[in-house]
Structure 1
Amino acid sequence: MKQIKQLFWIFLFSLLGEVISALLSQFIAIPGSVIGMVLLFCALHFKWIKMEQVDEVGTWLTNNMGIFFVPAGVGLMSNFGVLANTWWQLLVIMAITTMLMMGFVGRIVQVIKSKEVKAETNITGSLEEIEVEVDVI
């Protein structure tokens, strides 16, 4: 019964995401599953629902995520004739976007790390100033 309740919450947010996606489809194309995940994240963050209400089923779903890639793989295999004419273009696009994304993520990590180092330096510097003042007194 507990798993059914947890699955209900996940399906509820998925349904809400699909409804919002359908309403927004005239203006912008955002997948309903993405909107549902964002809504679930917000509900968990603001503690509208507790983690215990989705934890067990959510863990099972992420542990078995490979199941969800089977339909996409079958779709690629069944449309191989269409993709055969443009495979090299797809390969170039994938290579370029992968390199751009790696560079972008690397740069973001460097910025975050440098901010952390500056914050640690400021804290350490403040502590040293306090120690110096204590020694003077």
Structure 2
Amino acid sequence: MVIHLGLFLGFQLLGEIIARVFALPLPGPVIGMVLLAVLLLIRPTIGKKIEGTAATVLSYLSLLFVPAGVGIVQYLDQMSEIGLPLAAALTGSTILAIGAGALTFKYVGRAMGQPDETPQ
């Protein structure tokens, strides 16, 4: 498990290095995630090996939201001023992200030759 976590963090570090060296507008972890996805496409056996570790990390993902909640409570007075625009931005970006994800899955499924199961 430690080696797998090292792999995840190594790709995040590699992404950070690439983002800073080339002054890219993308966050380093996103670049690292894309590189890891490319590796998993090239070597699917690695995906089978890290599957358990990835599932464990995902099961504790909710802990990452605790600092965000503390930040909101700490700046509650400012939230009254910017709360409505912030809520609108969060709602809109969530809807767009869900739509983009759904379309991506649909087109990847088509590209892989799977039948389209979208209700008509």
Write the distance in 2 (CA, Å) between the matches of 1:60 and 1:19: 27
1:89-126 CA-partner distances (Å, limit 9, x unpaired)? 22333344455x289459948x75xx746xxxxxxxxx
Kept in 2, the 8 Å contact 1:6–1:55? The answer is no
Could you say which structure has the larger radius of gyration? 1
Which amino acid letter does the alignment assign opposite residue 18 of structure 1?
Answer: E
Say if 1:35 and 1:89 are closer, same or farther in 2 by CA, change over 3 A. Answer: same
> Is 1:5 matched with 2:6?
no
Which residue number corresponds to residue 38 of structure 1?
Answer: 34
Say if 1:106 and 1:39 are closer, same or farther in 2 by CA, change over 3 A. Answer: closer
Write the distance in 2 (CA, Å) between the matches of 1:60 and 1:86: 36
**Once the 2 structures are TM-superposed, how far is the Cα of residue 32 of structure 1 from its aligned partner?**
1.4
**Once the 2 structures are TM-superposed, how far is the Cα of residue 39 of structure 1 from its aligned partner?**
1.0
Structure 1 residue ranges (4+ consecutive) displaced by more than 6 angstroms after TM superposition: none
Write the distance in 1 (CA, Å) between the matches of 2:46 and 2:102: 35
Say if 1:40 and 1:76 are closer, same or farther in 2 by CA, change over 3 A. Answer: same
Output the TM-score relative to the length of structure 1: 0.62
Which residue number corresponds to residue 79 of structure 1?
Answer: 75
Which residue number corresponds to residue 18 of structure 1?
Answer: 16
Same amino acid, percent of matched pairs: 25
Alignment of 1:1-137 (within 5 A): 3-25=1-23, 28-47=24-43, 50-98=46-94, 101=96, 104-105=99-100, 108=103, 116=115
1:27-64 CA-partner distances (Å, limit 9, x unpaired)? x4211111111111111111187124422221100111
Say if 1:75 and 1:105 are closer, same or farther in 2 by CA, change over 3 A. Answer: same
Say if 1:82 and 1:48 are closer, same or farther in 2 by CA, change over 3 A. Answer: same
